[in-house]
Amino acid sequence: MNKFVVRKLIQNIFLGLWVIIILAAIAGKLNTVHQFCPHSLVCFGPMYFKGHFAYIPMVIIGLLVAISTIFVGRKFCGYICFLGTIQEYLFKMNTFKNKNRIPHKLHKMLGIIKYIFLIIILYLVLDFSHYVFMKFCPIQMLSFPGSITIYGLIILLILFIGGFFIERFWCRYLCPYAALMNIFQFIGKLLRIKRQMISRNWEICVDCYICNKNCPMNIDISKYEDITDPNCIHCLKCIKVCPKEKCLTFK
């Protein structure tokens, strides 16, 4: 079984698990989905500084996942996160996908939004106003559709319509947990900790730019020898589409 098949298998297993969790929540058999969600680190983790402890196991797991990005990058996003997998399937339905590449300058500007969201959420949580954020959390809304507000509905529409036209729209521009993982990678870089990343062999590369066109995170792969961009989710798509064997490999 090759690495591409293994990744898809892992993605579908975790997607299936989340479908079961969401159906259980909709059926009223769960009071909350936060006890299964690593994003709880962002939503509830900061409350620990004020002595309020909630969903401890999942907050710890969320922290460990964030720390792991220092060494292995954002594999969580590319393999485990069910929202990321849904975004992939949504974009596959778009037959005009090749016409929807966002210019890199605009892409970088939009990438700042997720950091702004992270700051807002941290403020709300530290102010014990995190339930305001819960009204906009896509995982919460998918699990408890009966509690969706008009504002929440708008967020879901943006998430799904955006994901249909722009590959991994949520992961690129809106996910606060992705912003936190990027910050951990930045800390690892400051500490000069070696991180697993995709490397490009200059001598083998023929500058066909196929990797750029197929990167779901819109990373300009052809510009670098080592893909140090923290937004890389190790989806292996660039390696799969590259026409030159061993041009792109894990370093």
Buried/exposed 41-64: b ≥16 CB within 10 Å, e otherwise? bbbbbbbeeeeeebbeebbebbbe
> What residue spans define the domains of the chain?
3-190, 198-250
DSSP state of 202: T
Residue 96 φ/ψ, nearest 5 degrees: -110, 25
Token pair listed for 82: 């069910």
Helix axes 176-190, 113-126, angle to 10 degrees: 100
Confidence class of residue 235 from pLDDT cuts 50, 70 and 90? Answer: very high
Q: pTM for this one?
A: 0.91
Give the pLDDT score at 96: 75
Sorted by sequence, the CB contacts under 8 Å of residue 92 that are 6+ apart come out as none
38-80: pLDDT as tens digits: 998 998 888 888 788 888 999 999 999 999 999 999 999 999 9
> In terms of Cα–Cα distance, which of 250, 232, 251, 243 is closest to 205?
243
163-175: pLDDT as tens digits: 999 999 999 999 9
